[in-house]
Amino acid sequence: MSDRREKDKFPVSLDPSRSFFHVNTAEAWLLTGASLLAGLGIGWLLAVWANRLCDTPPRPGETRVTAALTAAFFAIATFAIVFLEVQRVDEVIPNVWWRFGRWITHLGLLTLLIAATATDLREYIIPDQITLPGVLLGVLLATVSGDLQLIHVWVDWNHPLVALQGPEIPSWLSSHPHWHGLIWSLTGAATGAGVTWLARGISSAVLGQEAMGFGDVTLMAMIGSFLGWQPMLFVFLLAPFCGLVVGVTVKSLLNRPYVPYGPYLSAAAIVVMLSWRWIWSWEPTPRVSIRKLFGDLPSLAILAGASLVLLLVLLGLVRWWRGGSREPN
């Protein structure tokens, strides 16, 4: 009887006695090892691709570093998504096939982010050959699958009967999953591109010069097409903090006075992708929670404004930190 009561405390999707991916520990480690090896090969191919996209030659050892980092990120992402179940939330329970499909899809996003970062760090540019096909790929996969979302395009935890009925989710989402996939992916891409474009325009007006390139806009559109609009707001919120870590690390290792913005945005996207379960379920008080915020339009407006302000703060801090060093053309 006590076991029954203990299990009833958890929604089906969070029942601690079940594995979301239906794999045991040994299988999870096997997948992690396979991802490590796959990452080495893909990382080497990424380095070759980056060399073709860039005019300047790579630094000594850069190909090996790219391959090693890709392998490490692949292994970490696989272990986190499959074994730690970092993307598992109450509202979204894809079938087993698309649980693995989402994992593979996000490894694809990770690959594109590493490629964009490699070219941005070398030549301060994010080629359209990476981001535009990435946007199309994200939208296409979301539409075809109908089951890749981290969270549905709309979830309302604020209605009066939520304790009895759970969150309010539009019925058409389950009736038309492929249309839902198209909509949440396009909404994510529009959110990523729109907020970045707005920040680009405002920062250019305030700082007197263009602070972000168009590649940053298409990069965020690509990320949004894979993650959706709700995670994108947290990418904007976390980007300044990732900027501090990435900026200090790159300056320390490479002694570079200027670090482009793309790596900050990519790092924030990876953090959100690998911590979504805790971000979405964070509830500091019974009346205040992240998921309730996303069902309330005034709160959403405040969050969007805060995301934009923090992104502008990031741009200003990086400009100040550069100490007047000249930005590469």
CA dihedral 213, 52, 78, 61 (to 10 degrees): -100
Question: How far apart are the C-alpha atoms of 174 and 147, rounded to whole Å?
Answer: 10
Q: What is the pLDDT of residues 235-286, one digit of tens each?
A: 988 888 887 777 777 667 666 666 788 888 999 999 999 999 999 999 888 7
Q: What is the pLDDT of residues 1-51, one digit of tens each?
A: 333 333 333 333 334 344 677 777 888 899 999 999 999 999 999 999 998
Mean pLDDT is lowest, of 94-103, 125-134, 208-217, 273-282, for 208-217
How many other CB atoms are found less than 10 A from the CB of residue 328? 10
Average pLDDT of the chain is 84
CA 240, 138, 134, 119 dihedral sign is: positive
More confident residue, 61 or 230: 230
Look at residue 299 and tell me whether its pLDDT is greater than 70.
yes
Cβ atoms of 129 and 219 within 8 Å: the answer is no
CA dihedral 102, 70, 255, 222 (to 10 degrees): -30
What burial letters (b/e) apply to 115-153, b meaning 16+ CB within 10 Å? Answer: bbbbbbbbbbbbbeebbeebbebbbebbbebbbbbbbbb
Question: How far apart are the C-alpha atoms of 242 and 246, rounded to whole Å?
Answer: 6
Look at residue 184 and tell me whether its pLDDT is greater than 90.
yes
Look at residue 75 and tell me whether its pLDDT is greater than 80.
yes
More confident residue, 165 or 132: 132
Q: What is the pLDDT of residue 200?
A: 84
Q: What is the pLDDT of residues 125-159, one digit of tens each?
A: 999 999 999 999 999 999 999 999 999 999 887 77
Cβ atoms of 89 and 280 within 8 Å: the answer is yes
Q: Domains of the chain: which residue ranges?
A: 91-321
This prediction's pTM: 0.86
Question: How far apart are the C-alpha atoms of 45 and 55, rounded to whole Å?
Answer: 17
For range 83-109, the mean pLDDT = 92
Q: How confident is the model at residue 56 (pLDDT cuts 50, 70, 90)?
A: confident
3-state class of 176 per DSSP? coil
Q: What is the pLDDT of residue 9?
A: 35
Q: What is the pLDDT of residue 284?
A: 84
